[in-house]
Amino acid sequence: MILIILQHHSPLKNYAIVDIETTGGKTNRDRITEIGIVIFDGEKVIDKYETLINPERSIPPQITQITGITDDMVSDAPKFYEVAKKIVEMTKGLIFVAHNVRFDYGFLKEEFKSLGFTFTRRQLCTVRLSREKLPGLKSYSLGNIIKHFNIKVNSRHRALDDALATAELMKIIFTKTDPTETIQMMINRGIKESKLPRGVTMDYLQKLPESVGVYYFRNDYDVIVYIGKAINIKKRVMQHFSKVSKKAEKLARMVSQIDYVETGSELVALLHESSEIKANKPEVNKAQKNSNYPYFVHQYYDKHGYACCGILKDTVKNAKGKDIIGYYKSIPSAKSHLNSAVHNFQLCQTKVGLNTNEGSCFYMGIGKCNGACTGHEEANEYNVRAQDSLHYLKKIFDKNIVIIEEGRSEDESAVILIENGHYLGYGYIDKIDSKLGIEEIKEAIDLKKHNPETNGIVRNYLNGEKRKTISF
């Protein structure tokens, strides 16, 4: 891992080429084990510095196999705080130019942060510089560059030797071309890109669409770690890495790839995001991992055979084996819905769990309950009305409708299906087919499993401004 530091007042003459070895690849977990600095004036090495560093943690065997650095070798080496001043002095006023800048610079910055020191330098990536000025190579790793140009190296993956090899690389670049303009451009870009995750370039972000959709952040193992919805995908993704926050830093460490899906419709984006978060359970989507509907109403039969309702917290244990009627944001909202069922179907407040007192319920006293609570009404008679109320309680929407939204192009419309009281899915049709019948539209629907969140998303969307719908 190579760092090259370019002097600010004479950016194309004096360089400090820095290589670090570490205990692993994560800045928040691993530590530096060796650092080598070579001062290079564009023609020759004029100074150099190297030292092992005690990482204050064990070195994994697989890392030792690569670097040759063992726990015994670093046991008596200085700790980072003992060499920090030297590093600051050698890099002060210089520009970091790095072979994979975010790795090396990130480790140094993290080490200094642990000492309470803010280490800030402008940076440039020599991987990109090599790609720009030495096109056509099979690979731009330092190992392949050494092999391709027959650069002499005594010990690969040792800090000073790799730093000296990089000095030779810089000689080759300056011999073959004038990189002045490219270097200056990359330095300026590096100021912005220093906050980006490794593997994600400003060029890639600039190519993201400025349209409605859902975006995915993946880690090195292609695992989705974050899912988001955006009116403008490009703008929203760039906002993640322009902020200074713990979440932004965590994403910058974890993310190595960004994918996206254009939806055309904001409503479809909201629905797609919700279902994808539930399916993938991304690590960083903490707020959306927890259900917005943490309570459920279930039906059961008491020892006398009456159909009853209860309200419980939605946990795996509570939900197991239950006949669940619906989910709710709060206990009051669940009680309110049950109370409306009591009123509409002449149910007993006690049997639906709204009365915990012994004896008759309030509604029996005013003639609106037939006496299920006192045994005056037989269970089989009461249960007929209780069963009739289930469709009412389970129903989220009163009408069967198709919501018509903007599609992913000018020639397309998004269609969202609401039927039998629930959101059932979405799809796309050509605008020229906008006069299709309901059955034809249904054929375009990608059916989804509805849940409280998706039903709530559609309901809130319909409660806003007037939407284009088709009733059936």
222-231, 281-290, 294-303, 350-359: which range is least confident on average? 281-290
**Dist. CA 125–CA 169, nearest whole Å:** 13
Tell me, yes or no, if the two domains 2-193 and 202-287 fold the same way: no
Q: What is the pLDDT of residue 194?
A: 60
**Residue at token pair 């990482």:** 55
**Dist. CA 450–CA 461, nearest whole Å:** 16
Q: Can you tell me the mean pLDDT for 112-134?
A: 82
Higher pLDDT, 193 or 97: 97
Nearest CA-CA partner of 271 in 2, 459, 99:
459
**Dist. CA 20–CA 17, nearest whole Å:** 10
Which CATH number applies to 2-193? 3.30.420.10
Quickly state the pLDDT bin for 167 (edges 50, 70, 90).
Answer: confident
Q: Can you tell me the mean pLDDT for 14-22?
A: 88
**Dist. CA 338–CA 354, nearest whole Å:** 8
Share of the chain above pLDDT 70, in %: 92
**Dist. CA 41–CA 50, nearest whole Å:** 18
**Dist. CA 402–CA 381, nearest whole Å:** 38
For the cut 60, the answer to whether the pLDDT of residue 112 exceeds it is yes
Backbone angles phi, psi at 369, to 5 degrees: -120, 135
**Residue 412 in contact with residue 264, Cβ under 8 Å?**
yes
Q: Which residues contact 37 (CB under 8 A, 6 or more apart)?
A: 16, 17, 18, 48, 49, 50, 87, 90, 163
For the cut 80, the answer to whether the pLDDT of residue 389 exceeds it is yes
Quickly state the pLDDT bin for 111 (edges 50, 70, 90).
Answer: very high
For the cut 70, the answer to whether the pLDDT of residue 193 exceeds it is no
How is the chain split into domains, by residue range? 2-193, 202-287, 295-394, 401-471
- Quick: pLDDT tens for 417-444: 999 888 999 999 998 666 788 898 999 9
Q: Can you tell me the mean pLDDT for 252-268?
A: 91
Chain-wide mean pLDDT for the chain?
87
β-strand 213-218 against 32-40: which pairing, if any? unpaired
Q: Can you tell me the mean pLDDT for 21-35?
A: 93
86-100, 299-313, 323-337, 387-401: which range is least confident on average? 86-100
Query: Out of 3.30.565.10, 3.30.200.20, 3.40.1440.10, 3.40.50.300, which CATH number does the structure's domain 202-287 have?
Result: 3.40.1440.10
Quickly state the pLDDT bin for 207 (edges 50, 70, 90).
Answer: confident
Residue 242 tokens, joined: 């322009």
Spell 94-103 as b/e; 16+ CB within 10 A means b: bbbbbbbbbb
**Residue 331 in contact with residue 312, Cβ under 8 Å?**
no
138-142, 316-320, 465-469: which range is least confident on average? 465-469
Sign of the C-alpha dihedral computed for residues 260, 261, 262 and 265 taken in this order? negative
Q: What is the pLDDT of residue 267?
A: 95
Largest CA distance in the chain: 103
**Dist. CA 176–CA 228, nearest whole Å:** 45
3-state SS class at 213: strand
- Quick: pLDDT tens for 283-293: 888 755 566 78
Reduce the secondary structure of 247-306 to three states and give it as a string.
HHHHHHHHCCEEEEEECCCHHHHHHHHHHHHHHHCCCCCHHHHCCCCCEEEEEEECCCCC
pTM as predicted: 0.54
Q: What is the pLDDT of residue 415?
A: 95
Q: What is the pLDDT of residue 243?
A: 67
For the cut 50, the answer to whether the pLDDT of residue 198 exceeds it is yes
**Dist. CA 83–CA 89, nearest whole Å:** 10
Q: Which residues contact 5 (CB under 8 A, 6 or more apart)?
A: 15, 16, 17, 18, 90, 91, 94, 95, 96, 97, 121
**Residue at token pair 């799809």:** 427
DSSP-assigned letter for residue 467? -
Q: Can you tell me the mean pLDDT for 360-370?
A: 92
3-state SS class at 181: helix
For the cut 60, the answer to whether the pLDDT of residue 8 exceeds it is no
Q: Which residues contact 245 (CB under 8 A, 6 or more apart)?
A: none
**Residue 459 in contact with residue 397, Cβ under 8 Å?**
yes
DSSP for 82-110 reads HHHHHHHHHHTTEEEEEETHHHHHHHHHH
